[in-house]
Structure 1
Amino acid sequence: MFGYSVQRGRMPPTQPNPGQYALTNGDPLNGHCYLSGYISLLLRAEPYPTSRYGSQCMQPNNIMGIENICELAARLLFSAVEWARNIPFFPDLQITDQVSLLRLTWSELFVLNAAQCSMPLHVAPLLAAAGLHASPMSADRVVAFMDHIRIFQEQVEKLKALHVDSAEYSCLKAIVLFTSDACGLSDAAHIESLQEKSQCALEEYVRSQYPNQPSRFGKLLLRLPSLRTVSSSVIEQLFFVRLRLRGPAGAMDSKAAGTSGRLLQGAARQGGGGPGRQEQPTLQKCNPSCKPGERDSL
């Protein structure tokens, strides 16, 4: 599953502008906003800032066509993988660990990106995109797919209801990505410590930016376990079948960068050097109340 290709040139890369990260409520992150060095690097790693694709998504009652939905989904997937390989600490992991983490978490990262850009989730275009109108199907299959679409919609809407800002989304994605639950990790303890760093950065940011919302940090973390209720196979069927993709992570195959291709084709093809190293930020030691905990209890 973990290695498909997209036609070259369908989604030209864009250069991120670190000074223009759009919040979900429309307010820009600026110099008056507290951002740790770590969170700043997480934001800077975004290859497709929300402002680039958000205008198309956020218009009221905007019903996108099937092709536009699939194009946007592929762009969100590109964004998730490119973001991961450019954030602090991730490029320094073993290639096999990078692949394992992306294999496990790509669908959760996709849901977070979909919520961040307010992706339209109208049922009829999604069913058409999944190809369910192209051939006869049983009523049970339609009902099952409708239920999966509903679950996906619910997760996106619950995130949108929290008015999560760009810095919070970046931290949530880092918490999701750095999970010791992935199989075959060479240093699970180190990856767990990276999850803890990300969680502590989020807690510090929320306390600074939202002092009148003492429960906000907990509410954000409580959204993460439910992301796994969205089936990765259903996301593939809904958004990527029409693009003739053979698995979500291979979206990066259309890029010439060797590292991306190796990440997405699997651990068996590792040759040729790893991604560039990020300058590592200095992180304050987390207070004892901030613990990573078990993944299912976040």
Structure 2
Amino acid sequence: MAYFDGCHCLGNRRQNSILYSILKNDNQTEQHTHRRPGAALQQQACSCGSKKKVALRCPQITCKTASAVLVKTLKFVKNVPCFRELPAEDQLVLVRSSWAPLLVLGMAQDRVDFETTETPEPSMLQKILTSGQERRGSPHEQRDQGVTLADIQGIKAFLTKCWGLDISTKEYAYLKGAVLFNPDLEGLQCVHYIHGLQSEAHQALNEYVKMIHREDPARFVKLFIALSMLRSINANVVAELFFKPVIGTVNMEELLLEMFYGK
């Protein structure tokens, strides 16, 4: 394949294609936690409701579950041979960019559902007392005031879409490969190689779908529609919702690096 000829990262290890790597990694079938999805996604009549701030109803349980999914996700990434062959700089770029969508994909695969509750609006006195602190705070701190109902709706819509498609373990593996190997990120050295890996993931998924779901010729397109929904989910929202209740002000990127390179 032409993608691999011009990249020094591949060397002579052509056999470590994305198809080989992901299938080899995913042969250890994960047991799904089959929980029934929660209440149906509620539609808001106006945009005002979607801007309301919400938080997890049971943060202790949900955050613990999300953390376990993140550990499995990073383990999946580290066990892909062609990922390990990439330069360390490229590995960091890919992990920083893909951890959140991969986590939400993992939550869909493990059938992790969650409920939220509306956070109370601060009183006028609280707003007056904290206004000076907000002006002195950084822009990030000022934004870091919870997630909106619209953010939750985006995540819930993606989870519901995946559960409705009844995605198989192998399909999830190919989707993870397509998300992980994103050649459009800035700072990558082995762009052509990574582009080739993503193309192989797409091709492998397409061939698998055609073989297993012959009665549904549009399934490949449906899976890509789900991926497009995944791209709209903001990583800061994922960190705020599922990890801030546990790690507080700890930098999420530092935590990721510690988890990824820690023993």
Task: Give the TM-score normalised by the residue count of structure 1.
Answer: 0.62
Per-residue CA shift, 1:221-276, capped at 9, x if unaligned?
A: 2221221211111111111012114206725635xxxx7249xxxxxxxxxxxxxx
8 Å CA contact retained: 2:93, 2:185: yes
8 Å CA contact retained: 2:147, 2:241: no
Per-residue CA shift, 1:103-134, capped at 9, x if unaligned?
A: 1111111111111111112122xx6xxxx469
8 Å CA contact retained: 2:108, 2:162: yes
**Identity of paired residues, percent?**
25
Does 2:89 match 1:84?
no
Q: Distance in 2 between matches of 1:240 and 1:102?
A: 17
Correspondences of 1:128-167 after superposition (within 5 Å): 132=119, 145-167=148-170
Helix, strand or coil for the counterpart of 2:239?
Answer: helix
Gaps of 5+ in 1: 1-35, 263-298
Q: As a proportion of its length, which structure holds more helix?
A: 2
RMSD: 3.1
Does 2:24 match 1:41?
yes
Per-residue CA shift, 1:35-81, capped at 9, x if unaligned?
A: x74552141477xx243xx15xx156599832110001111111111
Q: Distance in 2 between matches of 1:134 and 1:69?
A: 23
Does 2:213 match 1:210?
yes
Helix, strand or coil for the counterpart of 1:89?
Answer: helix
Helix, strand or coil for the counterpart of 1:213?
Answer: coil
Does 2:91 match 1:98?
yes
8 Å CA contact retained: 2:102, 2:176: yes
Correspondences of 1:1-298 after superposition (within 5 Å): 37-44=20-27, 49-51=30-32, 54-55=33-34, 58-59=35-36, 65-124=58-117, 132=119, 145-244=148-247, 245-247=250-252, 250-251=255-256, 253=258, 260-261=261-262
8 Å CA contact retained: 1:77, 1:248: no
Q: Distance in 1 between matches of 2:65 and 2:120?
A: 21
Per-residue CA shift, 1:153-204, capped at 9, x if unaligned?
A: 1111111111111100010000010110121111101100000111111111
8 Å CA contact retained: 2:22, 2:174: yes
Say how many residue pairs are matched.
Answer: 210
Query: Which has more radius of gyration?
Result: 2
Task: Give the TM-score normalised by the residue count of structure 2.
Answer: 0.70
8 Å CA contact retained: 1:77, 1:249: no
Residue identity in the other structure for 1:198: A
Q: Distance in 2 between matches of 1:226 and 1:59?
A: 21
Q: Distance in 1 between matches of 2:253 and 2:115?
A: 21
8 Å CA contact retained: 2:183, 2:192: yes
Q: 1:107 to 1:210 in 2, by over 3 A?
A: same
Q: Distance in 2 between matches of 1:44 and 1:91?
A: 18
8 Å CA contact retained: 2:37, 2:111: no
Per-residue CA shift, 1:267-288, capped at 9, x if unaligned?
A: xxxxxxxxxxxxxxxxxxxxxx
